[in-house]
A = this chain, B = another copy of it.
Amino acid sequence: MCPSDVAPTNGSENHADALSSPNLSTTHVAIDATTAPSSKSVPTQSNPYAPRYADFLSNTSNFSIIESTLREGEQFANAFFDTEAKIKIAKALSDFGVEYIELTSPAASEQSRQDCEAICKLGLKSKILTHIRCHMDDARIAVETGVDGVDVVIGTSSFLRKYSHGKDMTYILKSAIEVIEFVKSKGIEVRFSSEDSFRSDLVDLLSIYKAVDKVGVNRVGIADTVGCANPRQVYDLVRTLRGVVGCDIECHFHDDTGCSVANAFCALEAGATHIDTSVLGIGERNGITPLGALIARMYVVNPEYIKQKYNLPALRELENLVAEAVEIQVPFNNYITGFCAFTHKAGIHAKAILANPSTYEILKPEDFGMTRYVPIGHRLVGWNAVKSRVEQLDLELSDEQVKDVTAKLKALADVRTQTNEDVDVLLRIYHKHIKAGTLNIGEHSTLDALLQEHKGSKNGNGHLDLPASKKSRVEENGSLVTQ
């Protein structure tokens, strides 16, 4: 389906409704007010990643995060959070700046109920939500805990209606309205979400959302519970829904097929207002949209908006805290904080990065308290990266000489990866003997002999009699640190 086929006029009319709707969460309005001038203006050409023309339904610079590490994350295979761990994580999430923290239903167990009350009493900056089945028994327990809002969920797909709760759409709507009106009567926020939305009948879905919008729900939720949705499908569904309801739209995406981040982004493009995340993505099966990944994606669209809302340098510690609590390692390829996220290796990449980091980098490592690395002791190295190291070491070599020593470095690295010390020794010996006239360009066997000689003297406690570098800052893993 073509997105722009979906009620273009209705869409904008409804958006106007939405902006003035009393249903919009206050947090959301607050963000709107503080960021309106920059977030809603046409992006400037200085950010090549932002759309060239503004779309006034898009919320890519105007959204809230519902952080569900303490609800969805508790459904992760390894998770067992005791009260102390929950409180630590809730505080860290609030310090990071997420707008909402979602907790396990107080109906799940007695300890879950007590923990929910304890977290509500912390007085955190983030609003506290709890997540319950669409049932009055659960709702009654939830509203007594002191939460700022209740997230209600029920399965609407034929799969879940048949194999899970066994109820029909009429029953679902009746319970939904009863629960929503009850929670609202307590003066707190309420969200109504379907489960497995992408396998639910579209007409059923829109009917129930329209009905709950009418009784004043604060948000409706779309959930890809099984991780089957794809980005254009998400865009179409959310944009259609945007034309049907005036309330906020929350989205929840599982990552079974690798689309949880892209789906969240497309949902915001289509007009969604709230995205569910968890730290490192922990949740049922392989989890949901990771908080760090969503931050990376949205930072690229509008860095200023993201830097102003969230305490980005705190991300790494937050991830380490949760990883430790559930006994996992942060994945090697984790967004932003993975050990190689800012490592540039190929020769052509390193050359350009050294000239201008924007060539191969769209996230500024310094904004996240991270550092860029350009390792050079490998066979893919180019002479420009070697030249940069030569300059850091305050050695004087012509381009022709740098190309010559690079060829030798590549030959050595073809046998084994060279450490930073190996590289520096090679460069210094080459420099010393080229300057002394005891080595000429292309004399690699002479260079081999000189390296062997040095190795011998080093093993015999000898040291290189060479000037120390003034500018070098060498890291443990043998890399150039370019800032």
* Chain A interface residues toward B at CB < 8 A: 2-5, 48-49, 74-78, 80, 104, 108-112, 133, 155, 159-160, 162-165, 196, 199, 225-228, 230-232, 235, 255-263, 265-266, 269, 280-282, 284-287, 290, 293-294, 296-297, 300, 328-329, 331-335, 338-349, 351-352, 355-356, 358-363, 373, 375, 378-380, 410-411, 413-417
Contact = CB atoms under 8 A, between A and B. Distances in A.
Contact of A332 (B75, B331, B413): B331
Contact of A343 (B77, B226, B293, B411): B77
Contacts of A413: 109
Contacts of A348: 133, 155, 164-165
A88 to B, nearest CB: 18
A284 B344 contact: yes
Given A226-B362, A257-B297, A297-B257, A333 B282 contact: yes
Contacts of A345: 75-77, 284
A3 B1 CA distance: 9
10 contacts: A48-B228, A49-B228, A77-B339, A77-B345, A231-B262, A232-B269, A257-B363, A261-B262, A280-B333, A282-B333
Contacts of A133: 348
* A160, A235, A287, A346: residue with the most chain B Cβ atoms closer than 10 Å: A346
Contacts of A332: 78, 328-329, 331
Contacts of A285: 340-344, 360
B380 A228 contact: no
A379 B109 contact: yes
B262 A363 contact: no
A265 B159 CA distance: 25
Contacts of A230: 262, 265-266, 269, 297
Number of copies: 2
Contact of A340 (B5, B78, B293, B333): B78
A48 B199 contact: yes
B265 A104 contact: no
Among all A-B residue pairs, the 7 with the closest Cβ atoms: A258-B261, A262-B262, A331-B331, A111-B414, A231-B231, A258-B293, A77-B340
Contacts of A104: 380
Contacts of A341: 256, 285-286
Contact of A297 (B109, B258, B281, B361): B258
A414 B258 contact: no
A394 B4 CA distance: 58
Contacts of A290: 258
Contacts of A228: 48-49, 300, 362
Given A226-B361, A331-B333, A362-B256, A232 B266 contact: yes
* A2, A4, A269, A349: residue with the most chain B Cβ atoms closer than 10 Å: A349
B351 A109 contact: no
B109 A256 contact: no
Contact of A109 (B227, B300, B344, B414): B414
B110 A414 contact: yes
B359 A296 contact: no
Given A286-B334, A333-B281, A111 B379 contact: yes
Given A2-B2, A226-B360, A256-B296, 11 more contacts: A78-B332, A109-B411, A226-B362, A232-B235, A256-B335, A258-B261, A258-B290, A261-B262, A284-B349, A286-B340, A328-B332
A344 to B, nearest CB: 6
A3 B341 CA distance: 32
Contacts of A338: 286
* A48, A104, A232: residue with the most chain B Cβ atoms closer than 10 Å: A232
